[in-house]
Amino acid sequence: MAGVPRIAVVGGGFAGAAFALHLIRANGARPIALDVYEPLPLLGAGLAYSSEDPAHRINVAAARMAVFSEDPTHFDRWFRETGEAAADPDALLEDGRAYPRRAAFGRYMDQLLRHAARAFPNVRFRHLRTKVTDVVPRGDAYRLRTAAGDEIVSDLIVLSPGHPPPPSARWATADAARAPRFIGNPWVPDALAVVRPDDEVLIVGTGLTMADVVSSLRARGHVGAITALSRRGLTPRPRTILPVEPFGTFHQPPTQSAADLLRRVRAGVRAAAKEGKPWECVVDALRQQGTAIWQGLSPASRRLFLRHLRAWWDVHRYQIAPQIDRVLQDDQRSGRLKVVKADILAIRRFEGSFHVSLRPRGKAAHPEVERFFDAVVNCTGPDHGTVVQSNPVLQSMSEGGLLRADPHGLGIDVDSLARAIGRDGTPTRNVFVAGPLARGYFGELMGLPQVSLQPERLAITVSELLGSAEAAKLDMAV
């Protein structure tokens, strides 16, 4: 590597921006060129925090949205001290916690990163508002091509392209899926605008996206009945208002077995209850120890976990903003929202509405039920199993043998340093992954603070690599 090393961050949503921010801080005075490729105007906002929908709030209290491990409540202070809190009084709860709108966190990340870039003039920082479409090796470096038609050579690449869109609805006929009030991807801005106030709505999926959709529809004046449906009918659990401390040790001694892990967790919840502590304390301990626990499990147990326990884990580990929970509770009490446990058999178009065949689930065998809805919203979540095919840059790198999907369908295969594993099973030189797509190795890597710690550690790895390459006057072979 001759001259100033050029680093490309592909995807400047939360994980990419967190990596760039931490790299700038860890890198010190060394000259580097840092390019963040991100089509959105704000850096750090990404899919979650670019939402302009005022009904969308962060799902953990601001004090837990830690970007800096040494100062976890930085965002909470920023929110209260910059006028953001005054502009959004509903964010503040009586118990003192703050649940800002998601867009506030996007503005915060953008400010943090741009401020850091200005404070370190040795960093030649660029925000390139375009997508990277393909990457090929060029000597010891890589040539990136962008949707804007540029070709730029970089020495090191950090991939952080975020979540893929939801899977296409295999239960809907092509005709139904094309209908105007079939909302295949509710994350598209203003996707819900097509729903009329009295429409009877079917939401497929009962997780956090369902909660967002219900709360957005109600905020837009929707008064029609909503049915939210999933195979298990599980909804995210609201958090207790007690401050919680992690409780229990589940990674030591390590266990290979999902069944043993489940026994330990149940015993942990009972032990916590004896001490007057809520189950959330156990969930927090599991999240902190998530990487070690995941790595201890055998491949068969990981598969078992994903097939049978993941839905339970998700509803306990994902939280819901109390403001949103209130909307759901009120709606359920009044009967306007029904959460049902059922399998969808088919959705067909029928005279401007949807004819839905479903089979309720339960201990007894249930007959098929036919229902009609005016609108259908697919809230089944990101389709991580197809992430490589759904993003052209990942597809091109996969075809070139530079990366591969992880064996559990959670994202991209990486090693302990978050280096992408290539087709031949060895780490690809100077290609790293930041954020949830590295979950196949790191396990629990979805929400903050875990998803900010991984880019922070990666920034230290990359900074050390840049330092050793410079000291040895070598190319950046790891």
Q: How far is the CB of 281 from ligand FAD (least distance, A)?
A: 18
Position 448 contacts ligand FAD (CB under 6 A): yes
Position 337 contacts ligand FAD (CB under 6 A): no
Segment contacting ligand FAD by CB under 6 A, of 234-242, 409-417, 442-450, 464-472 = 442-450
Output b/e per residue, 313-333; b: 16+ Cβ within 10 A: bebbbbbbbbebbebbeebbe
- Of the pair 375, 387, the CB lying nearest ligand FAD is at 387
Nearest of 119, 112, 160 to residue 8 by alpha carbon: 160
- Of the pair 55, 304, the CB lying nearest ligand FAD is at 55
Q: How far is the CB of 287 from ligand FAD (least distance, A)?
A: 11
Q: How far is the CB of 340 from ligand FAD (least distance, A)?
A: 23
Binding mask 147-176 for ligand FAD (x = CB under 6 A): -------------xxxx-------------
Q: How far is the CB of 391 from ligand FAD (least distance, A)?
A: 5
CB atoms within 10 A of CB 170: 7
- Of the pair 135, 476, the CB lying nearest ligand FAD is at 135
- Of the pair 37, 279, the CB lying nearest ligand FAD is at 37
Segment contacting ligand FAD by CB under 6 A, of 11-19, 136-144, 222-230, 342-350 = 11-19
Q: Which of 114, 124, 131, 423 binds ligand FAD (CB under 6 A)?
A: 131
Q: Which of 100, 435, 440, 443 binds ligand FAD (CB under 6 A)?
A: 435
Position 21 contacts ligand FAD (CB under 6 A): no
- Pairwise CA distance, residues 93 & 82, whole Å: 18
Bridging pattern class, strands 141-146 and 132-138: antiparallel
Where in 59-78 is the site for ligand FAD (CB under 6 A)?
A: 59-60
Q: Which of 446, 460, 461, 475 binds ligand FAD (CB under 6 A)?
A: 446
- Of the pair 106, 296, the CB lying nearest ligand FAD is at 106
Binding mask 102-121 for ligand FAD (x = CB under 6 A): x-------------------
Q: Is the Cβ–Cβ distance between 62 and 100 less than 8 Å?
A: yes
- How many residues bind to ligand FAD according to rule CB under 6 A? 31
Q: Where are the beta strands (DSSP E) in 327-374?
A: 337-350, 353-360, 369-373
Position 236 contacts ligand FAD (CB under 6 A): no
Q: Which residues 6+ apart lie within 8 Å of 354 measured at CB? A: 176, 179, 181, 182, 202, 347, 348, 372, 373, 374, 375, 376
Q: What are the backbone angles phi and psi of residue 256, rounded to the nearest 5°?
A: -90, -10
Segment contacting ligand FAD by CB under 6 A, of 6-14, 115-123, 170-178, 234-242 = 6-14
- Pairwise CA distance, residues 46 & 14, whole Å: 6
- Of the pair 101, 419, the CB lying nearest ligand FAD is at 101
Q: Which of 6, 7, 8, 14 binds ligand FAD (CB under 6 A)?
A: 14
Position 268 contacts ligand FAD (CB under 6 A): no
- Of the pair 163, 457, the CB lying nearest ligand FAD is at 163
Q: What are the backbone angles phi and psi of residue 451, rounded to the nearest 5°?
A: -80, -5
Binding mask 365-394 for ligand FAD (x = CB under 6 A): --------------------------x-x-
- Of the pair 236, 296, the CB lying nearest ligand FAD is at 236
Output b/e per residue, 82-106; b: 16+ Cβ within 10 A: eebbeebeebbeeeebbbbbbbbbb
Q: Which of 431, 451, 458, 466 binds ligand FAD (CB under 6 A)?
A: 451
- HSE (side-chain half, CA atoms, 13 Å) at 154: 29
DSSP of 405-432, one letter per residue?
A: B-TTSSSB-B-TT-EEE-TTSSEEEEEE
Helix axes 258-274, 279-288, angle to 10 degrees: 140
Residue 67, both tokens: 């970007």
Q: Is the Cβ–Cβ distance between 117 and 111 less than 8 Å?
A: no
Bridging pattern class, strands 6-10 and 201-204: unpaired
Task: Specify the residue for token string 């559990």.
Answer: 408
Q: Where are the beta strands (DSSP E) in 72-122?
A: none
- Pairwise CA distance, residues 373 & 195, whole Å: 11
Task: Specify the residue for token string 């197809």.
Answer: 386
Segment contacting ligand FAD by CB under 6 A, of 5-13, 224-232, 259-267, 309-317 = 5-13
Binding mask 24-63 for ligand FAD (x = CB under 6 A): -------------xxxx-----xxx---------xxx---
Q: How far is the CB of 160 from ligand FAD (least distance, A)?
A: 5
- Pairwise CA distance, residues 247 & 245, whole Å: 6
Bridge partner residues of 405 (DSSP): 412
Residues near ligand FAD (CB under 6 A) are: 10-11, 13-16, 37-40, 46-48, 58-60, 102, 131-132, 160-163, 391, 393, 435-436, 446-448, 451
